[in-house]
Every structure is written in structure tokens, then in C-alpha cells.
Amino acid sequence: MDMFINKITKTISEKFEENGYDSEYGKVNVSNRPDLCQFQCNGALAAAKKYKKAPVAIATEIVESLKSVDIFESLSIAGPGFINITVKDSFLVQYINSMKEDEKCGGSTEEAPKTIVVDYGGANVAKPLHVGHLRSAIIGESIKRTAKFLGHNVIGDVHLGDWGLQMGMVITEVKRRNPELPYFDDNFTGEYPKEAPFTIDALEQIYPHASKLAKSDEAIMEEAKQATLELQNGRRGYVALWKHILNVSVTDLKRNYAALNVDFDLWKGESDAQPYIPDMVKYLKDNNYAYESEGALVVDVSKEDDKFEVPPFLVLKSDGSSLYGTTDLATIIQRTQDFSPNEIIYLADKRQSLHFEQLFRCAKKSNILPENTELDFIGFGTMNGKDGKPFKTREGGVMRLQDLIEIIKSAVREKVVQSDSVSEDQVEETARKIGAAALKYGDLSNQATKDYIFDIERFSSFEGNTGPYILYTVVRIKSILSKCVEISSKEGISITGPYSDAERDLMLQLVKFNEYINVSFKDKAPHKICEYIYDLSNTFSRFYSSTKIVAEEDINKKTSWVALISLVQKVLELGLDLLGIEAPDKM
Ligand code: ARG
């Protein structure tokens, strides 16, 4: 559907044009003085400069010619030439009713959909998923859902870290513990065991231990590097062992991501880029993009006008092993072959921005990136504890995501247990949904690039700008509707009115839905969706506290209100779904 505000803009633009001015001056904004008018057009002021005429004179001409249009309740000229606009209720209600009939509640569908790869999640195999990966998963999921909602063809890829040094560390540590395993026997020609030689719990112990050892002992570190290189070169036993590490890890990761309602279309990793690396390296060398520097193979990606130093992009280490950037560059080739994307969006900690700058420059300079593919990096800030430092466990260790989810869930559970409306057997499921909402909304309501403070009390509060508050609004509407079952919520909103101010405000808030979704996607800013559903919830609250819906005896009024609030419910649920949040039935 066309955006509500665009419909008004279009009407006014036509009049500018009819009167001999550029149509662009007809742009309409939501009024910042809702006490005076609903919308405003300031174009006469800008037009006045260009056409060397008094702004009020232009505004008067426009208002005069708008008199033939019957969608306006009032048009007036304010100050130096602003046009204050209020639309007719019938025009507003007509739009609301068409939103109701639309399965996307007026959300637009892209006429020229793009193919977009969203690279998010980025968990590292064999390492526990920690809060640092939380933001990538949560923000990426929301961007992916919003793009899909708008009709783009979107592929979400978890891009696991499964090809780096940590793999070599784990392999050498397993070898130290169980040297008798066939994976380390060069003469072994049989079938490797189907069962992994460790559980996820054991694996999670192995990595931190191995990493500590390697960091304190140079020989062990050397061994880990060598093992990594041999794995990358396809040493049979190592590859077999690595597959076990991957399987055990991925099973666990899937469970964790599912708890967050995060769902990837692709479970690829850095390792999947390996087959593309040899040809890529050859190409970079043959075309003189890459050269040797201190034994390593690099591509110069600096630019003359750089304000800060951009070091060369590392293609291969001096021992010939590939790095984080190598697999990222080769993955661009892979994605191009598989999907010919128009855009690749990466989500990672903003401290990785230099890496992505180098990667993007290298991909463009070497023409590895097709000309019509856009690369976009969304660097997010850190989730901090109340002390302003990166969030840690009480012991000062890295907080595991699983534990974090549990912490917030128990904070919510306490409240759910006290609620009369939630039956005992529903407590767990309800607490899970509200807990996930608290966590995700707490994150998403902040601008992604900013650091934020993880505040359990605030995030899990049922009041204020929180996930639980939005869920509570949905649950409240569901409860009201369940008391009005005699009325079909499929009916439209009454076109005759009259409407209370609170009712009209609610409708004016509803019609902004499509606009916010589009802006949120354009700016890759899920917090704008949060902003919208929070405002909608508040506007609904004001309407509800001034309207006795359930007790209303006038059936026409009641039907209209039921229609209106069921649309509010649907829009809130769509908005929540774009954030990857689901509402319980009761809370
Ligand atoms: N695995 C990386 C990390 O934990 C994040 C991956 C981000 N995506 C990418 N294509 N580099 O830091």
C-alpha cells in the first residue's frame, strides 16, 4: 500500500505543479504541533527562494487550489508560510480499513526486490556462545525479517568461525589427551568412528584450556598453528576430527539460537570458503593485486586521502595458512556464485570496522566484487554491565549466552508466577517468551552502533519502554477481545464517526506503520520499529483508558472499536515479529 503520508504529499505536490512550481515542494511531514494540525507542508518557504516570491503568497495559492480536494478537514497558513493540514476523518478511516484488509497491514512490497545476503550470528565453533554474539544475532535477525517483509529475497547466513586457529588448538589438545585416537595416526586407512570423542560439555572445557596453554607456551602455540595449517590443507585425520567438533558445536548452537528465535537460512562457515582460496590467491597474484611483504601475502588497500592509516589486507600468512580476511574475501566469491546478491550486509562488533573496511576495499579494488553488489557493515556497540564495562559473570568471566537467557528468564518468572491469569503449566513457556522479549527489546531499542547497559530490572519491567510492556499491551487487547466475542473483529471501522480525540490519535499512529518499517530497513535501524510500537502501545493505552469498550451498549460503536483494537493488535504483533519477538496469550 501507498504510505498514508505520501498520499497527502502527492495531492499537495500536484497542486504545486499545477501552479507552476516544482512538485518536490509538496512534501508533507507529521506536524510537530499536534495541537494545531496533523500534518505540515513547509515547501512554500523553499519555493519562495527559487521563484523569488513571498512564501505566504505561494502558500495561499496552494491552499486555494486544494479547496477542490475533499480529503482535508482544514488547511491554514501559519507563520511565514507553513501550510497546516488536518485531514478528514473519513479519509483517515478509509485508509485504516484498507490496512485492516491487507495481510501486511499496509506494509509495502518492493517492486524491484533485491537479493540480499545477511551475514550475522558469527558464532565460533568450539567456543561457547557468549553475549558478544548476542547483538549480532538479534540485530541481524531483525534486519533480515524486515527485508523479507518488504519483499526482498533474503538469505541469512550464520557464517560460523570454524577455520581459524581455535580449531588447531582444539585438535592438538585432543591429541595430547587421547593420542591413541585414529585421527592422529598417519597410517590409518580405515573408517573413522561415527561418534565424536567428546560431548559438548567436554568440548567447551577443551577450548579455554587449550587456548590458555597455547598462550603461555610457545611450542604449544606452534603446534596449534601447524595443526591449523594441516587442517586447512586437508589432512585426513584432522578433517575427520574437525567434522566432529563442528557437529557437536553446531547442535548446541542451533539450540541456543532457537531459544532466541533466531533462524538462519544457511549454516555455512569460514571453512566453506576454502575451496575458493587457491584460485583466488592465484588471481590476486597474477593480476598484481597481491604482493609479498615480510613473507606474508598482502594487498595494499590504502587510499591517498585516508585520514587514518589503513594497513594492507592480509591474504595469506607467511606459513601459507589463511586468515579471517582470507575466508571473508573468498566467501564473497562463493556468495556471488551461489546467489549473485545485490547486497551483502555484515553484522559484527564495531571494533571490527577496520577489518571490514580493508575487506571491502580489497574486494572492490581487485574486482572480486561484481560492480553492482553493495557491501554494508553494521558495526554494533558493546553490551555493558552496570559498571559500564563489558558484561561479565559475577566471577569476572565471559558470560555465556545460555546463562544470560536463564538469568533474565528467572527475573521474569518471578512475576509470571504471581500473575493470576497464567496457569501453572504455562509459567515456563510464558516466562521464556517474556524473557526473550525483555532481552531482545532491551537490545534492539538502542541504536545499534551505541554501547548500552544491560539492566535486568529495567528490561524485564512490565512498564516503560520495554519488551514486556509491549507484550502486555498485546495481551491486554487479546483479553478485551475475548470479552467481546459477540462482535466480529473482521468488521471495519465505522465511517460515520464521531471519533474521540484519543481514537483519532490511535488511527493517526496506526497509519505510520508502513513508513516506520521502510525507514527502519533503509537505515538498518530496528530501534525505529521499537520506537513505533512503543508509541503505538502508549497511544492505545490512552485510548483504552478513556473508552469503555466492553461495556458499550451501542453496537455500532462497539463494533468499530473492536475493529480498531484488533488492528492495533495485528500491527503490534507484526512489529514484534520483525524484531523476532512473540507474545504469549496471557501474562
Ligand atoms: N566469528 C566472528 C567473531 O566472532 C564474527 C564473524 C562476522 N562475519 C564475518 N563475515 N566476518 O568475531
* Domains within the chain, CATH numbers bracketed: 4-87 (3.30.1360.70), 401-578 (1.10.730.10)
Query: Is residue 25 within 8 Å of residue 71, measured between CB atoms?
Result: no
Query: Is residue 121 within 8 Å of residue 133, measured between CB atoms?
Result: yes
pLDDT, tens digit (0-9, with 9 covering 90-100), for 381-398: 999 988 888 888 888 777
pTM of the predicted protein model: 0.95
Q: How far is CA 21 from the centre of its chain?
A: 40
Q: How far is the CA of 121 from the centre of ligand 1 (A)?
A: 8
Confidence of residue 401 (pLDDT cuts 50, 70, 90): confident
pLDDT of res. 131:
83
pLDDT of res. 323:
95
User: Which run of H or of E encompasses 156?
Assistant: strand 153-157
pLDDT, tens digit (0-9, with 9 covering 90-100), for 413-456: 999 999 999 999 999 999 999 999 999 999 999 999 999 999 99
Distance of alpha carbon 378 from alpha carbon 350, whole angstroms: 7
Distance of alpha carbon 587 from alpha carbon 581, whole angstroms: 15
pLDDT, tens digit (0-9, with 9 covering 90-100), for 125-140: 988 788 888 999 999 9
- Read off the pLDDT of each residue in 63-87 and give the average, rounded to a whole number: 95
Q: How far is the CA of 115 from the centre of ligand 1 (A)?
A: 21
Distance of alpha carbon 552 from alpha carbon 558, whole angstroms: 6
CA 312-127-320 angle, to 5 degrees, is 35
pLDDT of res. 109:
96
- Read off the pLDDT of each residue in 16-28 and give the average, rounded to a whole number: 97
Answer yes or no: is the C-beta of 159 below 6 A from any ligand 1 atom: yes
User: Which run of H or of E encompasses 426?
Assistant: none
Answer yes or no: is the C-beta of 443 below 6 A from any ligand 1 atom: no
Q: How far is the CA of 161 from the centre of ligand 1 (A)?
A: 6
Provide the mean pLDDT of the chain: 95
Answer yes or no: is the C-beta of 163 below 6 A from any ligand 1 atom: no
Answer yes or no: is the C-beta of 563 below 6 A from any ligand 1 atom: no
Of 158, 166, 249, 346, best ligand 1 pocket probe by most atoms within 8 Å of the beta carbon: 346
- Nearest atom within ligand 1 for CA of residue 161: 1
ipTM of the complex: 0.99
Indicate whether 365 pLDDT > 90: yes
Answer yes or no: is the C-beta of 140 below 6 A from any ligand 1 atom: no
